[in-house]
Structure 1
Amino acid sequence: MDETDVSGTYLGFDFSTQQVKILATDHNLQMMKEVSVHFDSELPQYNTKGGAIMQNDRITVTAPTEMWVQALDLALDKMKQSGFDFSTVVAVSGTGQQHGSVYWKNGSHAILRRLDAKMTLHEQVKHCFSIKDSPIWMDSSTYAECRYLEKCVGGAQQLADITGSRAYERFTANQIRKVFCRQREAYEKTERISLVSSFAASMLLGDYAPIDYSDGSGMNLLNLKLKTWDKTCLLSVADNLEEKLGIPVPSSTDLGYISSYFCQRYGFNSNCKVIAFTGDNPASLAGCRLQKGDIVVSLGTSDTLILWLDEPHPSTEGHIFINPIDDDAFMALLCFKNGSLTRERFRDKYAGGSWENFSKALQMTKPTNNGNIGIYFDVQEIIPESVGDHRFDGKDKKVVEFSNDEEIRSLVEGQFMAKRFHAEQLGHKLTPQSRVLATGGASANPEILQVLSDVFQAPVYTLDTSNSACLGCAYRANHGVMGGHKTAFADIFRQPPNYKLAAKPRPADYDIKRYGRLENAIIPL
């Protein structure tokens, strides 16, 4: 395989919360092989539960950094034992759970650059971390640091305008501030701070890998407009932070050749490229092959939206990141706690515990539900911060109940109107070309998907996203080799996406602004 050969294979690495996964695709970007290492069951010595360790205070959550290194060793060994030919790999890319941070100790760079192929990675780098346990996205121990950062930049909305999000406890800026204030000696001994994504790339590169724009925009540190670290945020977080972070790069950046360590130990070709790694949510956008105007709606225990945006309008609700496959565009992420569990409550209460009866209720009622709108939160919602059941008739009057069938339609329509309302608040614009890509457990229900299509006035497609993040990284590896931002992401594919049309919109006049007014009316003062 020579340097210009793009007919080989591509690897995607996924450092998620509970496992490390490697997925291989052929030159047509069709999946060939997949291996994984589950932390809890295959590395029990680290005593993780769900890949994490919760401290006694119940709000501090970390993961052993060296566990991730050892998992990479095991995953690559599994690939080798399966007979996979690493010499065919043209390029690799990867993803890491967003918001996790790694603190490389002084002198670690030199160790990365002289790895011995006769030894495992874990043996050589396990002592390279000034903080043994990495803060991860489940941590919520930085409330004070969040308020401090917002105060320094002029408020929550100002921080969102700069970085795409208000201060969140799991975001890396606030985690770094906590380390700086409470573990100063460890901070001073740190020569580089990585995200989980750039940490993983660093091991494969044998050098410190830069943070990419997309994952970097989930830190409360990157200026979305300038695509550089924001000076005010840096100064508000810690001393000498910019030099510890390095310079951020576009998400399609070719970082160079894979470390000779992997060539000698596993048989990678020396011309194999490492394309910048990114966060798991951006990687999923790539894996779903999202296009301009599209929305991914994941219908699970919590409901999640991933949006393609051209002109974002940052707010204190939701998150806006730089788009991982188009540096001139953006993506937004919205999460709603009250998803399938609320739908199940209504199934049990109004449909006799039967999904079939639930679906019949949607069939028997008309779009817009005669003006009846329901807003239902079993637990404190994220967007908006409210709880309880709220029903409004066609004249905006609060009522106690609807008929059973209307209750079910009001729930499903209300959930989807909320999603459309908040998507549009962040700058999403529906066009005739817009598509809704539905995933998650409830996407198996055609009647629910019909309501989704009606509310968004767009066709709904279903797709399998079980490997979306990892597959997205294999796609991104190919995209990086093909020229990155100089080549449209969609142009790397030789086959159309495997979407299945599930619903076409029926004419329906949903008053999304009215929904927004009613939602605002239930927010506690």
Structure 2
Amino acid sequence: MAAEQGTTSHVYLGFDFSTQQLKVLAIDGNLDVVHQDNVQFDTELPEFRTQGGVHIHSDRLTVTSPVLMWVKALDLLLEKMRGAGFDFSRVRALSGSGQQHGSVYWKRGASETLSRLDPNQDLFHQLQNSYSVSDSPVWMDSSSKQQCQDLQAAAGGALRLSEITGSRAYERFTGNQISKVRQTRPEQYQETERISLVSSFAASLFLGLYAAIDYSDGSGMNLLDIRTRNWSEICLEATAPHLARLLGDPLPSTSVLGSVSSYFVDRYGFSESCRVVAFTGDNPASLAGMRLQPGDIAVSLGTSDTVFLWVQQPCPALEGHVFCNPVDWQAYMALLCFKNGSLTRERIRNQCAGGSWEAFSAALTNTVLGNNGNIGFYFDTMEITPPAIGIHRFDKDDNEVSSLSPEAEVRALVEGQFLSRRLHAERLGYSIIPGTRVLATGGASCNKEILQVLSDVFGAPVYTMDLSNSACLGSAYRALHGLVTESGGSFFDVVKHAPEPQLVVRPHPTAAQVYDKMLKRYGQLEETVLQWTHS
């Protein structure tokens, strides 16, 4: 292992087939980034007429991406790398990620085509007729409401489905999309010999044969039993007959699937011994890129706030998602999304702090921890977690009030957002343990006063890190990890020399006694707000 870390002649590639672009990043044995490149779908492949990498259909619910756009993007990316003088013979292993929940339908005979690719021609021309469905449903699609209802009914309800698969039925999840394709396009479905996720589709291109779906990305399908890590018979039967045959057996995310196909050896000069490690979803790959450890929580403070958790014992719920962990097959990761993030913070800044972040920060500094018992819920748009809407403020006696002072309003917003993040994280199985870190990223992570409240509410130190390429970087780390897994090396052995996140703030000494009580109150008041929303 020590020799591996010091071997700079070898490189490891991480690809990310995301919504708007295809990216690649190469690291050497010391984990230093030695090459990066990308292809933007809209501008560099205009013939596919995508906007933001997708086609939004006339019903506004159906959202797809052309499979051949992803294929052509890979051709273009590898040509760019060759043009830049990249030496493919140095690549010892590669892995990658794909936007979660997208599905690819391979046509009968495609496996034969994949296994006999001509190195004198690009992939795009050779795979023209390899897909029974030319436009893939992707994560932005919300047209499978009926299929979700049917799946939940078959599983015994939304909570039972969540206990099996880690999530209640979601319209973007692959099982529901497969069910919709089978029902609305039966001829194309009959022509399908294999169904891939975007991640396993991309891995298949490099292998020259169908790649297995990995446990972690497979957890985002409403089809995988997250505890047995096999397909759920109940869910398969509710989705489509003989579906197990079309999906293949799922495999651990650390699996080495084989060597790169002779096509890439002959066309680009890859080594015959270059290994392909299972590709996974972009969210699991980001967890690897962030190098999350047991007890850690990552909070992305963007337009939406996203929370990633490392969980040992999962407690699936009606909100949020539990996936198999991509770097430790015995553990889990959880994911929560909150729609009212930065835009709500900006609205309160404009309303209560004269549009100034400095004044907003000063309001946080000038108010006490716990805000004298005032608690606020700020759901400008219908929230995902929990499904509630409206602005609700409560005083220390839990009476609803119509307004707070500007400074108290600022603190009520920020405390309320982070109490919500912690409450729902704990409901999914998260617990603060010695050594727990909060890793903050996204636009608001540059505001130290906001991060101080985050640290106080979670009772843990807050670190920041650059996550602009976390899925790509995580994929490159996973390529290296896949090689050492067979000899017993852990992911943390592999990444121990990577740059450390930066410590920004520690919790106030009295924070735990303030927020442990406040969290309980917040949970009770949230139930009240939910009842108001749905009454």
Contact 1:252-1:484 at 8 Å conserved across structures: no
Contact 1:298-1:440 at 8 Å conserved across structures: yes
Q: Secondary structure at the match of 2:163?
A: helix
Q: Secondary structure at the match of 1:144?
A: helix
Residue 522 of structure 1: aligned partner = 529
Contact 1:326-1:485 at 8 Å conserved across structures: no
Unaligned runs of 5+ in 2: none
**1:55-94 Cα distance to aligned partner (Å, 9 max, x none):** 0000000000000000000000011100010000000000
1:503 aligns with 2:505: yes
1:98 aligns with 2:100: yes
- Mapping of 1:12-51 within 5 angstroms? 12-51=14-53
**1:30, CA displacement in angstroms?**
1.2
> Amino acid of the residue matched to residue 109 of structure 1?
S
**1:486, CA displacement in angstroms?**
2.9
Residue 299 of structure 1: aligned partner = 301
Which aligned runs of 4 or more in structure 1 are off by greater than 3 angstroms? 4-7
**1:115-143 Cα distance to aligned partner (Å, 9 max, x none):** 10000001111210000000000000000
**C-alpha distance in structure 2 between counterparts of 1:25 and 1:62, whole Å:** 32
**C-alpha distance in structure 2 between counterparts of 1:48 and 1:498, whole Å:** 38
Q: Secondary structure at the match of 2:402?
A: coil
**1:493, CA displacement in angstroms?**
2.5
Q: Secondary structure at the match of 1:226?
A: coil
Q: Secondary structure at the match of 2:430?
A: coil
Superposition TM-score, scaled by structure 2 size: 0.96
**C-alpha distance in structure 2 between counterparts of 1:284 and 1:485, whole Å:** 24
Q: Percent of aligned positions with the same letter in both sequences?
A: 58
1:311 aligns with 2:318: no
**C-alpha distance in structure 2 between counterparts of 1:383 and 1:203, whole Å:** 37
Q: Secondary structure at the match of 1:482?
A: helix
RMSD (Å), alpha carbons: 1.1
**C-alpha distance in structure 1 between counterparts of 2:447 and 2:116, whole Å:** 54
Contact 2:206-2:260 at 8 Å conserved across structures: yes
- Mapping of 1:267-346 within 5 angstroms? 267-346=269-348
Residue 468 of structure 1: aligned partner = 470
Superposition TM-score, scaled by structure 1 size: 0.98
Contact 1:102-1:134 at 8 Å conserved across structures: yes
**C-alpha distance in structure 2 between counterparts of 1:98 and 1:110, whole Å:** 27
Residue 73 of structure 1: aligned partner = 75
**1:488, CA displacement in angstroms?**
1.4
**C-alpha distance in structure 2 between counterparts of 1:383 and 1:486, whole Å:** 39
1:513 aligns with 2:520: yes
Contact 1:289-1:497 at 8 Å conserved across structures: no
> Amino acid of the residue matched to residue 319 of structure 2?
E
**1:495, CA displacement in angstroms?**
1.5
**C-alpha distance in structure 2 between counterparts of 1:73 and 1:11, whole Å:** 16
1:143 aligns with 2:150: no
Residue 216 of structure 1: aligned partner = 218
Residue 482 of structure 2: aligned partner = 480
**C-alpha distance in structure 2 between counterparts of 1:487 and 1:314, whole Å:** 30
> Amino acid of the residue matched to residue 495 of structure 1?
H
**1:383, CA displacement in angstroms?**
1.1
> Residues 417, 494 of structure 1: CA spacing in aligned structure 2 closer, same or farther, 3 A cutoff?
closer
**C-alpha distance in structure 1 between counterparts of 2:269 and 2:139, whole Å:** 34
**1:487, CA displacement in angstroms?**
2.1
> Amino acid of the residue matched to residue 519 of structure 1?
E
**C-alpha distance in structure 2 between counterparts of 1:34 and 1:378, whole Å:** 39
Residue 376 of structure 2: aligned partner = 374
Q: Secondary structure at the match of 1:522?
A: helix
**1:338, CA displacement in angstroms?**
0.2
**1:480, CA displacement in angstroms?**
0.2
Residue 363 of structure 1: aligned partner = 365
Residue 132 of structure 1: aligned partner = 134
**1:200-225 Cα distance to aligned partner (Å, 9 max, x none):** 00000001000000000000000011
Residue 441 of structure 1: aligned partner = 443
**1:494, CA displacement in angstroms?**
4.7
**C-alpha distance in structure 1 between counterparts of 2:167 and 2:98, whole Å:** 19
- Mapping of 1:248-259 within 5 angstroms? 248-259=250-261
**1:496, CA displacement in angstroms?**
4.6
Contact 2:288-2:326 at 8 Å conserved across structures: yes
Contact 2:12-2:27 at 8 Å conserved across structures: yes
Unaligned runs of 5+ in 1: none
> Amino acid of the residue matched to residue 523 of structure 2?
G
Q: Secondary structure at the match of 1:80?
A: helix
1:118 aligns with 2:125: no
Contact 1:24-1:33 at 8 Å conserved across structures: yes
Q: Secondary structure at the match of 1:208?
A: coil
Contact 1:459-1:503 at 8 Å conserved across structures: yes
**1:485, CA displacement in angstroms?**
8.8
**1:291, CA displacement in angstroms?**
0.2
Aligned residues: 522
Contact 1:149-1:237 at 8 Å conserved across structures: yes
Residue 458 of structure 1: aligned partner = 460
**C-alpha distance in structure 1 between counterparts of 2:317 and 2:188, whole Å:** 34
